[in-house]
Structure 1
Amino acid sequence: MLRQFLSLITFLFFLYPFVNYTQHSDCIDALVYDSKREGNISVPTGFGKEKEIFGHDLYNDYFFTEEHNTLWIYLYFRDTTEFEFELTPKNSDDDFDFMLYKIDRPNFCNFIKSNQPIPIRSNLARKHPKTGSITGMRAENSNAYAKAGYQPYFSSTLKVNKGEEYYLIIDSPNGSDAYFNLFSKTEFIDTILIPKNPKTNLEPEVKIANEKKVNSPAKVNVQFSSSDSIHIPFKGLKIEGIRQEDSLVFFNKDSIEFIANKVPQKYVFTITASGYEPQEFIYFITNKKDTSLIFELKKLKLGSVLNFKKINFISNKATILEESYSEIAKLYSFLIANNNMKVEIGGHVNGLGRNRVSYQKLSKKRAKSVYKELIDMGVAKNRLTFKGHGNKLPIYKNPISNEQSSANRRVEITIKELN
């Protein structure tokens, strides 16, 4: 008989240090959550026998770039509840990310690997040692996801129903120990009672002959090519507009395919490819008709100037705005995709009138701020230089809005060497 819970209870569980890949680093060998265990968790070294999560760009909204050091946890809910947890590194300088999947079909582990479906929750925010680098899901947050960057460190909670099953994936670049605090008004199924292969005992699907499909979704295939129609493999791809109910199929590395369940809908594709400029393409789907799209990429040239327009700064300071870190991640991804390229980081200000010495100094400090961020992320120093342009090259000579003024406070990248 289930125990009755009258107040919110915190569960902690303990995993002994892992020594090889058989210890819950793969989906198929996920740790079954046991409500009788207490203590802390240890993320094992390595990704196990295979990577189920892979091929994603640093600045995407939903996924780890790939598995590094990974712990898979299986959760079965005995009761309807609000799922909320905290993950607290023992060392505040450690970095933990997580993704949460609802198990909705047989052979779900294979489905993840083959299709890279969008998780129902994830958080990829960078470590933040001053606050302990804590992450998780909290009721006060409204965001289901958090991309690579500084905030938010928590994603929203999730209403789960009795009998539902989930995979929680925890990834750490270096592997480490952490406290896993789970807050829920429910008891989880014990290890000895859980089926070893979740969702394998489902009732067979009943198919009705001559059943008419109503409002069939549209299949959209997207490819990228050069000016001479050669398909270009991409290093990274970010897609805006994909809904939770859409089926996203990654990756042939030069194309993607997804199922659009709702129209009209706007999609934005931001692509990074070796030897080509980072570009953004917009597509509006207006009817549920299968569609093939081919977007042409611009070849990189020596001296090309690329505007990373979303890297912005506090007025009169070299402090990068928090919302700009996803754009810095985009710049980092571009540099990694073109790892023999050297660039100059150019800083600009919104100052009015003559290009005073103070403008020159501020713009140089802004360029240096971006330079230091990229160095901290692992870009080699010999690939980067920085320069301040003052207010000599404004986008808007006479800005009439805060948006135009902010656009003038920008960073541009000039290609100095291509190999």
Structure 2
Amino acid sequence: MRRREIIIVGAGLAGVSAAWTLARHGHSVTVLDALVGPGLETSFANAGALTPSEPEPWNQPGVAWQLLASLFDPHAAMKLRLAPLPGLIGWGLRFLRNSTRARHIAASEANFGLARYSLAETQAVRDELGLEFDNLKSGTLKLCRNQAGINAAVLAADRLVPLGLNYRVLDRAGTLALEPRLTAIADEIAGSIHYPDDESGDAHRFTKGLAAAAEAAGVSFEWGTRVIELMDRGGQVVGVRTETEEIEADTIIIAAGHTAWSLLKPLGLHLPVRPVKGYSLTLDMSDLQTRPAIPVCDEALHAIVTPMGDRLRVAGTAEIAGNDRRLRPERVENLKSLVRAIYPQFADRLLTGEINAWAGFRPMSADGRPFIGETRARGLWLTTGHGHLGWTQAMGSAGLLAALIDGEEPPVDPAPFAASRI
């Protein structure tokens, strides 16, 4: 293995995880980011979920009808806006083409394999570095309000059991025993699914801690540095052009989330990754005598409520709205309604206290799987398109990327994530 000079574009979870891992493999790594610190975009206030149990892409069978119906429903869990549609036609058609049952199952299984490996890598780096990020190891709880919800969750989980998924079905009493704070809505609970291997925490704190460790290990971070163009010489990408200089390197890795496609387009590479906006609320629960103790998922809203120390993170919904960053009141209200629906006994206190509302863009690939590997432009590599699994798959993507760069045996099958899909 030869030592490479590597530039990584993007300092979110994917970029920082790759920087740490590649530095540990002996490479010289420089990370460029337009902002002033790590994890300030999609990684900043996300759901905080490390959930191999949720590997399913959002383009499940029947999604076309859901999106059509959402045009007339401001509170739809997955909401399509008309304004960005002209620029999303190509991506959207691929998104729908990959919503067949067979393709959805195949993507779910591939995502699970990467996510399971990634969680182990995340746990290893947490323990090695002593990272503090409000980490909970209690698993996640998928709340079901009817038997049909339980049946659907069990069907999806059973497909993944041969690949290593652990889960257990809880009745109402078992659900309340695991999370007594749900007693106020006991009559509405049919049961739940508990995924004990899942974890949670503050992804931004994790990213900052890992970036600090990477810097101590020799990684160079250049903040406020916007990459405007890739330098191509006869099909070989040899560097990047920023607003002030040209920087050359052996290997260029794009970890720029939903903006990655714009850097690749001038090279004739049409990356099918587009932004899908998610919302979150961060609520102060420091004065609560009893607090939620486990992340609770509400599948109907594509949302999750995650305890983080003195805070409660309420995150979810999916809005296909192009680059519109506006915090739309009805989408924020969706999350407030979720707090009222899950923890009515805490809702008045939490929703009249300090509320930090946020919206960020998940980099969603059209086929529901991230892009990890070298493109047909030599020297240009990708780790992007993770969608709602960004933190769950970040460290695993870094491990896979490093193995491919170094010509080592990959830790998971790289084929489902190959950049040759572009």
TM-score band, normalised by shorter chain: under 0.3
Which structure would you say has the larger Rg?
Answer: 1
TM-score for the superposition, normalised by structure 1: 0.23
Determine which structure has the larger strand proportion and give its number: 1
TM-score for the superposition, normalised by structure 2: 0.23
